[in-house]
A and B are shown apart, each in its own frame.
Chain A
Amino acid sequence: MHKVISFERGLSRFKPLENVVVYDDFDLGFNGWLDLTPNFVGPGFQQQSSRLDLGSWGPAQLSAAPMRFAASHGSMEGTYSLKLPTRAAAGPYEQPPIAGSMSTAIKRLSLNDPDARYVQLEAWYSYTPHQDREGLGEEDIRAFGMWFDIQDGEHRWQPGVRYVNSVNGELVKKWQYWQVSDGVTREQWTGLEHGWEQVGIDALWCGRRYGDGSADGFQWIPGGAQQLVYNESPDKLNWMYMRLTVDVVAREYVEFQSVDKVFDLRGLKATLSPKYAGITQLINPVFYIEAGADRIVNMYIDSVVYSTGATFPAKRGAV
């Protein structure tokens, strides 16, 4: 049999590994991306006990990015992107995130490639606050990022990246990676004596946070200060690229690229947690944004690629 393989032109703005598992543009729908919610499995469909209302995050939307004084922004290519909007709600950085202060979108998948050593998540994205007040608004966006929720045959672990944009109104603009600091206890992690969240799981809202932007669940990426493109008004979007590559055999980070900057993360370990029941071979890519003020802030994702491969090309991008 003679096979002819052709790729969609839009893939040329990504750098996928050998097997493209997911290539989602949002012009034709949600493509299976949905709000990240808790488990409503208790009596009366109540959610599992938690300090936070994990069902409160803002609902994902298909957005043409219509702006208050600009026209519809559309997306980088096509008309729609996936928008993650928070509610108009934020507490102090040092406190656990309050109800509504985040928006998250997840795609629920399972590992399919027995030869995969590497997994990679790539996206073109942008971010801006709701134009409901005067000013630049940049400092009202606290943080955003992306990560993998993985459970293999032995561990559950969540490698990811987080951009700390501002802390209590002061711009920080540095990247972190998901890894729990040594010695963090389960009680410090969840705030509860008992609970279902293992240390290392759900760093987005677990663990203590500190006034310099650090947190129990995240470590600063060496040299990770970066000025992203935040344009001169809340109604201007610029599309940016990010890519995270993870070694699922060694269970460690490999590389992170943001815009034109490539960070070598080899040797940095993910935090390994005990397995959870029933989810072996799970791999879920997730995106999120968190508000830093009582104001809706939005992350827009034009398109996403998740790919796997047995090898990782030695040279992936500009340094």
Chain B
Amino acid sequence: MLTSATTLVERRTVLTGDFGTHPYEAGWATEALFYVRTEGPHPTLTIQAQVSPDGVEWLDRGARLTLPSDRSLIDVELYGFGTWIRLFITGSTSEQPTTLLVHLALKG
């Protein structure tokens, strides 16, 4: 039987600029699925999955996704990611902030 776990790497975090979610160690898992969920109005967001050798420097991995302002939920999947993973989210400003939750479902 596989091991699975879900965590919230962001819990109602308010974004006012470019933002990287909390660096997360997921070396035990073979698949990762992020859910980005917004609360309230938000601008169009671009979402990029990233990987890292050390949790400090980040490389883009996979396609960049868009969450339009009229949608509040999107998923982002990652495979073959080594240990460190996060999302890099752009589009928010202090004039157009975003409140979001980011669930991370891991399985391995």
What is the chain B residue whose CB lies nearest that of A99? B13
Scan residues 265-286 of chain A and give those whose CB is less than 8 A from a CB of chain B: none
Q: Is A296 an interface residue (CB 8 A)?
A: yes
Interface size on A, residues (CB 8 A): 28
Q: What's the nearest-Cβ distance from chain B to residue A56, in Å? A: 7
* Partner pick for B56 among A59, A80, A130, CB 8 A cutoff: A130
CB pair B54–A55 under 8 Å, yes or no, is: no
CB pair B56–A28 under 8 Å, yes or no, is: no
Q: Is A262 an interface residue (CB 8 A)?
A: no
Report the separation of the CA atoms of residues A296 and B84 in the bound assembly, to the nearest whole angstrom.
14
Interface size on B, residues (CB 8 A): 21
What is the chain B residue whose CB lies nearest that of A79? B28
Cβ of B84: which chain A residues have Cβ within 8 Å of it? 66
CB pair B54–A35 under 8 Å, yes or no, is: no
Q: What's the nearest-Cβ distance from chain A to residue B49, in Å? A: 17
Q: Given the known A-B contacts A35-B7, A66-B54, A68-B54, are A59 and B22 also in contact in the complex, defined by CB atoms under 8 Å?
A: yes
Q: What's the nearest-Cβ distance from chain B to residue A55, in Å? A: 4
Q: Given the known A-B contacts A130-B56, A131-B56, are A80 and B28 also in contact in the complex, defined by CB atoms under 8 Å?
A: yes
CB pair B24–A59 under 8 Å, yes or no, is: yes
- Chain B, residues 3-37, CB within 8 Å of chain A (1/0): the string is 10101110111000000001111111000000000
Q: Given the known A-B contacts A29-B3, A64-B27, A296-B23, are A59 and B54 also in contact in the complex, defined by CB atoms under 8 Å?
A: no
Report the separation of the CA atoms of residues A110 and B84 in the bound assembly, to the nearest whole angstrom.
35
CB pair B83–A56 under 8 Å, yes or no, is: no
What is the chain A residue whose CB lies nearest that of B101? A55
Q: Is B55 an interface residue (CB 8 A)?
A: yes
Report the separation of the CA atoms of residues A172 and B39 in the bound assembly, to the nearest whole angstrom.
42
Report the separation of the CA atoms of residues A35 and B22 in the bound assembly, to the nearest whole angstrom.
14
Report the separation of the CA atoms of residues A8 and B5 in the bound assembly, to the nearest whole angstrom.
25
Identify the A interface with B (CB < 8 A). Answer: 28-30, 35, 37, 53, 55-56, 58-64, 66-68, 72, 79-80, 83, 85, 87, 130-132, 296
Chosen A-B contacts, 24 in total, with CB atoms closer than 8 Å, are A28-B3, A37-B11, A55-B11, A55-B12, A59-B8, A59-B22, A59-B24, A61-B7, A61-B25, A62-B5, A62-B25, A62-B28, A64-B25, A66-B83, A66-B84, A68-B54, A68-B56, A72-B27, A87-B22, A131-B54, A131-B56, A132-B56, A296-B23, A296-B55
12 extra interface residue pairs, beta carbon distance < 8 Å, beyond A37-B11, A62-B28: A29-B3, A30-B5, A56-B11, A59-B22, A61-B26, A64-B27, A67-B54, A68-B53, A79-B28, A83-B25, A130-B55, A132-B55
